[in-house]
Amino acid sequence: MQNYFGFNSFRPLQRESIEAIINKKDLLTILPTGGGKSLCYQLPALYFEGQVTVVISPLIALINDQVINLGLNNIKADKLTSELNNEEISEVYRKLNNKELSLLYVSPERANMESFKALLRQVDVSFIVIDEAHCVSEWGHEFRPDYRKLHFLKEEFPHIPIAAFTATATCKVADDIVSALKLDNPTRLKGSFFRDNLILNVKKRVANGRKELVNFLKNYDDESGIIYTFTRKETEEIASFLQSRGFNALAYHAGLKSEIRKENQDKFIRDETKIIVATIAFGMGIDKSNVRFVVHMDLPKSMESYYQEIGRAGRDGLKSECLLLYAMGDVVKKSELMNSIEDEVYKNFAKNKIEELYNYANSRQCRHQAVTGYFEESLIECENLCDNCQKEAVEEIDITQEARMLLSTIYRSGQNFGSAHIVDVIKGSKNKKVIENGHDRLSVYGIGKEISKDSWGLVIDKLFEKKAVKRGDFRQLMLTSFGANVLKGKQNIYADVDIFEEVAKEISLDKEHEIKDENFEALREVRAELASQKGVPAYVVFSDATLKEIAKKLPCDEESFLDINGVGKVKLERYGEVFMNKVKELKQ
Residues near ligand ADP (CB under 6 A) are 7, 10-11, 14, 31, 33-39, 287, 315
As measured in angstroms, the least distance from the Cβ of 55 to ligand ADP is 12
45 or 250: CB nearest ligand ADP? 45
Residue in the shown chain whose Cβ atom is closest to ligand ADP:
36
Buried b (16+ CB within 10 A) or exposed e, 302-335: bbbbbbbbbbbbbbeeeebbbbbbbbeebbeebb
As measured in angstroms, the least distance from the Cβ of 102 to ligand ADP is 16
DSSP tag of 484: H
As measured in angstroms, the least distance from the Cβ of 370 to ligand ADP is 22
CA angle 133, 139, 145 (to 5 degrees): 60
Task: Report residue 423: phi and psi, to 5°.
Answer: -65, -40
301 or 312: CB nearest ligand ADP? 312
As measured in angstroms, the least distance from the Cβ of 39 to ligand ADP is 4
14 or 224: CB nearest ligand ADP? 14
As measured in angstroms, the least distance from the Cβ of 167 to ligand ADP is 6
Contact 377, 193 (CB under 8 A): yes
Between CA 149 and CA 67 the distance in angstroms is: 25
Between CA 16 and CA 189 the distance in angstroms is: 8
Pairing assessment for the beta strands 103-106 and 125-130 based on DSSP bridges? unpaired
315 or 351: CB nearest ligand ADP? 315
Task: Report residue 256: phi and psi, to 5°.
Answer: -75, 150
At 443 the three-state DSSP class reads coil
As measured in angstroms, the least distance from the Cβ of 314 to ligand ADP is 12
As measured in angstroms, the least distance from the Cβ of 163 to ligand ADP is 13
193 or 445: CB nearest ligand ADP? 193
* Residue 117: how many other CB atoms lie within 10 Å: 15
Task: Report residue 277: phi and psi, to 5°.
Answer: -105, 115
60 or 328: CB nearest ligand ADP? 60
34 or 44: CB nearest ligand ADP? 34
327 or 371: CB nearest ligand ADP? 371
AA identity, residue 258: S
Q: How would DSSP label each residue in 59-105?
A: -HHHHHHHHHHHHHTT--EEEE-TT--HHHHHHHHHHHHTT--SEEE
CA angle 479, 484, 490 (to 5 degrees): 150
39 or 130: CB nearest ligand ADP? 39
* Residue 561: how many other CB atoms lie within 10 Å: 20
As measured in angstroms, the least distance from the Cβ of 379 to ligand ADP is 20
Name the residue among 128, 120, 6, 10 with its Cα closest to residue 69.
Answer: 6
What residues contact 383, with CB distance under 8 A and at least 6 apart? 389
Runs of H (alpha helix) within 270-321: 303-310
CA angle 280, 257, 135 (to 5 degrees): 35
As measured in angstroms, the least distance from the Cβ of 368 to ligand ADP is 19
As measured in angstroms, the least distance from the Cβ of 320 to ligand ADP is 15
Torsion angle in degrees (nearest 10) through CA of 481, 487, 493, 495 = 110
Name the residue among 180, 192, 161 with its Cα closest to residue 27.
Answer: 161
7 or 474: CB nearest ligand ADP? 7
10 or 152: CB nearest ligand ADP? 10
137 or 166: CB nearest ligand ADP? 166
Task: Report residue 280: phi and psi, to 5°.
Answer: -70, -5
As measured in angstroms, the least distance from the Cβ of 33 to ligand ADP is 4
38 or 201: CB nearest ligand ADP? 38
As measured in angstroms, the least distance from the Cβ of 60 to ligand ADP is 17
Distances from the Cα of 301 to the Cα of 199, 213, 304, 452, angstroms: 21, 20, 8, 29
Pairing assessment for the beta strands 103-106 and 52-56 based on DSSP bridges? parallel
As measured in angstroms, the least distance from the Cβ of 31 to ligand ADP is 5
